[in-house]
Chain A
Amino acid sequence: MTTIQGAIIRLVSAAMLLALAVSPIWAQKDSARLKKDDSSVYDELAKAPKKAAARRNPLENDPEAVEAGANLFALHCSECHGATAEGGRKAPSLRAEPVRRATPGTLFWILTNGVVRRGMPVWSKLPEPQRWQIVSYLKSLPPAEASN
């Protein structure tokens, strides 16, 4: 191995190990962006295309959809959005007025596409019916209390 090759290998190794070391800090920097009174977090709802926003929830008459959606929410969403969707340090309340006003199709679109820049991953890995079940659960939630 030549000296130049050895230097390149050491440089690449060092850069990658450094990236690994700083990645948790990076994640915190991203998640720390959410501020309690930052209503701009709901701006993404307005970006749903009209066709997507107009979609109806095919499970809106399914009696088990809310319960199944509550389980899915607890498994996948509550870590960031709070156990009862009241919001957390990393993600906003889903009981807030903009979310309550949003159509089922809009919520489904947000779930599918995520808000990657703000730290919400895409959830298209959940099959469509499961995403609609989560939407059913969100639509069943009461509004946030005044204290929230």
Chain B
Amino acid sequence: MQKIAPFLYATGLHLSLVLVLVLGGTASIAHAQESPYIVAYDHYLEEPGSLELEYFSTFGTQRDGNDYHAFWGEIEYGATAWWTTELYVEGQTTFNDSTIFTGFRFENRIRPLQREHFINPILYFEYEEISGADKILKEDEGHDVEADHAVPNALARREHNHELEFKLLLSKTFKGWNIAENTLAAKNLTGGNPWEFGYAIGASRPLALKASAQRCSFCRENFVAGVEMYGGLGDRHSFGLHDTSHYVAPVVAWNLPSDWTLRLSPGFGLNDNSHRFLLRWGVSREFSGFGDMIARLFGSHKP
């Protein structure tokens, strides 16, 4: 399995490219207006009927072990204006060790309120089926620390986690600034583990608030910059900041008129339990009309 993992990963990437090409021919492309956050969530959901394909990478330094490159692919679909559903597939390469598939996640975000309010809540539910070798750091929870990632892949992958995760996403946009706060509670269904807690906060703003009269790639309004911070808050038996890791990460997104969004985020560990440095980047493309395309495939709508 270890030997064929890179092959499976490459095959997965090829399949993703084929999917992008097929969708490019059948669904129209929507201009992305994406937030720059990689860990935090704001309160904006995917537009109904739109599909977004995303790829993210995280390079992490590792004390007492090998540095690593963790990656995930994400399929995000706007089922309705109040419900977005996502599927993640993830893996990692630990240098001088191996490349392995580490599992999948299935996530749903639901908007309970009809209109914009002073603070806008979103309810988040996720089911994860991941191995102990997962290193994507999509969230930081409980007593997760850097040393957890020093375990060799062959050993770490033997641990299988089936986890339920709930988040309350709070967000507000005012005068171009978005402020987001996420609180999470997670329960590993295997082995009688306690509830674990974590947080993420973020602030971001486009570099310009007015749109230019002409379409352009390098206009300031296409860039959104900000910062996010995230970390663990212990578990039910030992709630608090001791033995937890925390990160702060400047973030920037470039929303291209050619329908792609690029994100870049260097992250810095804030205590000795954290990785010293994380470099994250991502690329995504949104396809509107995906729901219509599926409906046409099954003949429920006539063009």
Contact = CB atoms under 8 A, between A and B. Distances in A.
Interface of A: 1, 5, 8-9, 12-13, 16-17, 19-20, 23-24, 26-28, 30-32, 59, 64, 67-69, 71-72, 75-76, 79, 89-90, 112-122, 124-130, 133
A24 B290 CA distance: 8
A12 B85 contact: no
A104 to B, nearest CB: 16
A126 B111 contact: no
B48 A30 contact: yes
16 contacts: A5-B189, A5-B190, A16-B108, A16-B127, A24-B294, A27-B291, A79-B47, A79-B288, A79-B289, A113-B116, A116-B81, A117-B81, A121-B81, A122-B115, A125-B33, A130-B210
Given A27-B48, A125-B35, A130-B221, 9 more contacts: A23-B85, A24-B295, A28-B49, A31-B292, A68-B212, A68-B213, A79-B289, A119-B48, A128-B209
Interface of B: 28, 30-31, 33, 35, 42, 44-45, 47-49, 77-83, 85, 87, 106, 108, 111, 114-116, 127, 129, 162, 164, 173, 175-176, 178, 189-191, 206, 209-215, 221, 257, 288-292, 294-295, 300-301
B116 A122 contact: yes
Nearest to A59: B210
Contacts of B221: 127, 130
Interface centre among B47, B87, B108, B257 (most CB of A within 10 A): B47
B48 A31 contact: yes
A8 B189 contact: yes
A28 B291 contact: yes
By DSSP majority rule, is chain A's interface helix, strand, loop, or mixed?
helix
A72 B211 contact: yes
Contacts of A121: 44-45, 47-48, 78, 81
Given A75-B30, A79-B30, A119 B80 contact: yes
A12 B108 CA distance: 13
Contacts of B289: 79
Nearest to B178: A125
A8 B164 CA distance: 11
A23 B295 contact: no
Given A20-B87, A113-B116, A26 B213 contact: no
Q: Which 7 pairs of residues, A with B, have the shortest CB-CB distance?
A: A23-B79, A75-B31, A127-B209, A64-B213, A67-B213, A27-B291, A129-B210
Nearest to B129: A13
B162 to A, nearest CB: 5
Interface centre among A68, A119, A120, A122 (most CB of B within 10 A): A122
Contacts of A125: 33, 35, 42, 44, 173, 178
A112 B116 contact: yes
A28 B80 contact: no
A72 B251 CA distance: 24
B85 A20 contact: yes
B81 A68 contact: no
Contacts of B214: 67, 71
A23 B106 CA distance: 13
Nearest to A90: B49
Interface centre among A26, A28, A32, A68 (most CB of B within 10 A): A28
A123 to B, nearest CB: 9
A118 B285 CA distance: 25
A59 B213 CA distance: 13
Contact of A71 (B49, B79, B162, B213): B213
B175 A128 contact: yes
A89 B221 CA distance: 31
A7 B176 CA distance: 47
Contacts of B28: 79
Interface centre among B28, B42, B210, B257 (most CB of A within 10 A): B210
B209 A24 contact: no
